[in-house]
Chain A
């Protein structure tokens, strides 16, 4: 745990955009973070699907989220040619946990339970992707 500097930004590849996920990535391009909620069981899920993975209903709708939550877990990858980076899960306030990166912070100060907020990070030739920073 010797590295304490915020690393140079790791280049994130363009996400694979599908017919299902295109509305999400179109919104991301506008700076809006969407999740899916099922109007049948009332629950939100992640990653977004047209059929609810919780109850099987096709009554899923896009919902804009402020992108706030807490760190469920994380790991700082030290073996990287572009410097250390942090991967982890955030449990969104709406309930679902999502895989992400933690950026713009001292990676050695990350902690489970810490509150974080979403921002979008640019990719090369693709829409921006959701990442999180401590609040």
Chain B
């Protein structure tokens, strides 16, 4: 597929200031976005793709998407190649548009190097003004961590849907049943629901055994063109669908911590693949915490919203026992969580399953369709979701 003729540049805006002592970098990004959208005759709600590089304050594009209230963004790219980033972004945006991943891509750049009395980053020295992530001053003061911000999601999910700690515990139990067969797993002991709910409380309502492990390690993947794949002596694992989306508080209106951005990353991935959740034979689901798995399973459509507790109970995620075998390597809850980023290991175990190379005790019979899904950042603050659907050819 070529990008030739598949995308147009419809709006452009150059900020008039050459000395900007009275604005933040985030604000200049937003003013540039507004200017380019006005030039094109579009509004921020038309934007479904956002591209930025390292000059954008915050975590990838997540802070700026949230700051600008770009509620319909379903594709982001924070490729960083220095000053050439924005030219690279035009090419990437054209690829994304040609592939149907977005229709209106916004690319922004802003910075204030003349204001050397200010400095970047999220922190601030006493008495000195900051020009870091715009949310930092209003959020970083409250002692937020992954444990307590995911705890907030679990608490609200329990309040709205009656989800219980015992139901969440089943997710860890299933992971431990799988990890016992993984010689590399950080935790290999099989645990029970009682073990989980009786482990010490870390941040209500999440117990120690609701939390993933902290490990070193890493992973890598090779994605190739069809003709390369067919020339190699390896089973054919085909990418048939992908979706992604950010999610944030967006001004704090209609905050809903009971769902993740998987509600937006999942449907386009399934649509592209031409399959539905009930077709999936194996699921790799990011398991930073038990609640992470439960919310994502609901959001991806494996069960109705609010029914995740019932869905995961009684071993339904255990390979050979339940209807949806998940994280057969033991996942982040038992196996590993290299550098606190569990996305790549989700894809790796899905590839093993599709190749038939998972441990025989956890290998799913005739595994020809798998999903790998994850969220990054914090479900309780702002995060990004990614979904891929893979098929054995």
Report if A and B associate in a common complex.
Answer: yes
| Complex contact A53–B67 (CB within 8 A) | yes
Is A56 in contact with chain B by the CB < 8 A criterion?
Answer: yes
Q: A17's contact among B129, B149, B151, B153, by CB below 8 Å, is which?
A: B129
Q: B257's contact among A43, A58, A73, by CB below 8 Å, is which?
A: A73
Q: Most B CB atoms within 10 A — which of A18, A52, A89?
A: A18
CB contacts under 8 Å to A, within B8-43, are 21-24, 26-27, 30-31, 34, 43
Q: Beta-carbon contacts of A7-31 to B below 8 Å, as 1s and 0s? A: 0001011111111111001000000
Docked complex Cα distance between A8 and B22 (Å): 39
The residues of A that contact B132 with a CB separation of less than 8 Å are 16, 18
**Listed stretches B244-252, B275-283, B316-324, B326-334; interface member:** B244-252
The residues of A that contact B135 with a CB separation of less than 8 Å are 47
The residues of A that contact B27 with a CB separation of less than 8 Å are 19-20, 50-51
Docked complex Cα distance between A96 and B140 (Å): 18
Docked complex Cα distance between A25 and B259 (Å): 32
User: Interface residue tally of chain B, by bracket?
Assistant: 35 or more
Q: Most B CB atoms within 10 A — which of A17, A78, A126, A129?
A: A78
The chain B residue with its CB closest to the CB of A15 is B137
Is A123 in contact with chain B by the CB < 8 A criterion?
Answer: yes
When A22-B129, A45-B251 are in contact, do A78 and B138 touch as well, CB less than 8 Å?
A: no
| Complex contact A99–B156 (CB within 8 A) | no
| Complex contact B143–A87 (CB within 8 A) | yes
| Complex contact A87–B130 (CB within 8 A) | no
| Complex contact A51–B141 (CB within 8 A) | no
The residues of B that contact A16 with a CB separation of less than 8 Å are 122-124, 130, 132, 136-137, 140
Docked complex Cα distance between A85 and B115 (Å): 38
| Complex contact B148–A77 (CB within 8 A) | yes
| Complex contact B147–A56 (CB within 8 A) | no
| Complex contact A20–B69 (CB within 8 A) | no
Docked complex Cα distance between A13 and B152 (Å): 22
| Complex contact A51–B251 (CB within 8 A) | no
Give how many A residues have a beta carbon under 8 Å from the other chain's beta carbons: 52
Is A109 in contact with chain B by the CB < 8 A criterion?
Answer: no
Interface of A is mostly: loop
CB distance from B128 to the nearest CB of A (A): 8
Docked complex Cα distance between A72 and B204 (Å): 15
| Complex contact A51–B137 (CB within 8 A) | no
The residues of B that contact A96 with a CB separation of less than 8 Å are 251-253
Docked complex Cα distance between A98 and B27 (Å): 21
| Complex contact A89–B255 (CB within 8 A) | yes
Docked complex Cα distance between A75 and B210 (Å): 14
Query: Number of contacts between A and B (CB, 8 Å)?
Result: 179
| Complex contact A52–B69 (CB within 8 A) | yes
| Complex contact A73–B252 (CB within 8 A) | no
The residues of A that contact B34 with a CB separation of less than 8 Å are 51, 56, 58
When A53-B250, A73-B156, A73-B159 are in contact, do A78 and B134 touch as well, CB less than 8 Å?
A: no
Is B126 in contact with chain A by the CB < 8 A criterion?
Answer: yes
The chain B residue with its CB closest to the CB of A2 is B201
Docked complex Cα distance between A114 and B27 (Å): 35
Q: A20's contact among B24, B200, B249, B381, by CB below 8 Å, is which?
A: B24
| Complex contact B252–A75 (CB within 8 A) | no
| Complex contact A51–B203 (CB within 8 A) | no
| Complex contact A18–B24 (CB within 8 A) | yes
Is A135 in contact with chain B by the CB < 8 A criterion?
Answer: no
| Complex contact B129–A19 (CB within 8 A) | yes
| Complex contact A53–B69 (CB within 8 A) | yes
When A10-B143, A80-B143 are in contact, do A20 and B134 touch as well, CB less than 8 Å?
A: yes
Is A100 in contact with chain B by the CB < 8 A criterion?
Answer: yes
Docked complex Cα distance between A75 and B109 (Å): 37
When A16-B130, A112-B156 are in contact, do A98 and B203 touch as well, CB less than 8 Å?
A: no
The residues of A that contact B154 with a CB separation of less than 8 Å are 75
Is B144 in contact with chain A by the CB < 8 A criterion?
Answer: yes
CB distance from A39 to the nearest CB of B (A): 15
CB distance from A28 to the nearest CB of B (A): 11
The residues of A that contact B152 with a CB separation of less than 8 Å are 73-75, 87-89
Q: B204's contact among A10, A17, A51, A76, by CB below 8 Å, is which?
A: A76
The residues of A that contact B127 with a CB separation of less than 8 Å are 125
| Complex contact A19–B24 (CB within 8 A) | yes
| Complex contact B141–A15 (CB within 8 A) | yes
Docked complex Cα distance between A22 and B127 (Å): 11
| Complex contact B139–A99 (CB within 8 A) | yes
A-B contact pairs, 24 of them (CB 8 A): A14-B124, A18-B24, A25-B137, A47-B134, A51-B27, A51-B31, A51-B68, A53-B68, A53-B69, A56-B69, A72-B156, A73-B159, A75-B147, A75-B148, A75-B152, A75-B204, A76-B204, A78-B201, A89-B255, A89-B257, A95-B252, A98-B252, A125-B127, A129-B141
**3 closest Cβ pairs, A-B complex:** A53-B69, A75-B151, A96-B252
